[in-house]
Structure 1
Amino acid sequence: MGIARGMGITGEHARRLVALWAGLHDLGKITEVFQRLNQAAFAELERLAGYPVDGSIPRVRHDLAGQIAVAPLLAAPTGLARPLLGVLSMLDAHGVPATLLTTPAVLAHLGKARGRAVAASR
């Protein structure tokens, strides 16, 4: 089953969502921890770009760093970033189906955190 058909959206919408998800996942790869996986390249990055390294940023995996970076974007319109990130942090960052986030259990959790009902919407 295709992504678009499975989600009930157009092919174009599905392509845009997949591109967004890929970009969001890779956002955390800008972190020092991920960049240091290739020491030679990181040394060159420090030399050429003055990459700031002062040890003040906690060491986290790139998938979690990406979730943390996206939190303010989620929080602005709905105030659900913290409880939603709590749910996401317990799941596999490489395979969270969007439909899971609109299950009754997750919506109830988000509603409790928000203080009023949360409905699924497209």
Structure 2
Amino acid sequence: MARCFSKLTQTSVRIEVGGGRSFDCPMLPVSAIDEFDGIREMLGSVDKPETLREVFRRLREMAARVLPEEYAPGLARFTLDKLIELVAYLIYGDDDDQPAGGQAPADAEDDLYEAKKK
């Protein structure tokens, strides 16, 4: 039996924004992992307010790269822990991600596998 590694092909995550609304958002590229790790290291050595402001700025900038423009201004309202959570989600996704269209990635992969067998 083959093992499924959906993270190899995942390119978007589903974000809920309240009011029953959600949207598919492109994930940050794998190359963003190093940048994210660097920001987290910076956070571990915050010794002045300017450094903390820089951490916030860089995290907001990372998220804004892939979020629809209409949502990017709202990033200024995020606490540090929520901003880190959002950026991590945009990089790594989640195993139970479902596109806004409704079909779970695992189902889509099964459909693709079945189509290739034919």
| Alignment TM-score > 0.5, same fold | no
Structure with greater proportional strand content: 2
- TM-score of the superposition, structure 2-length normalised? 0.31
- Identify the structure with bigger relative contact order (alpha carbons < 8 Å, sequence gap 6+): 2
- TM-score of the superposition, structure 1-length normalised? 0.31
- Greater CA radius of gyration, 1 or 2? 1
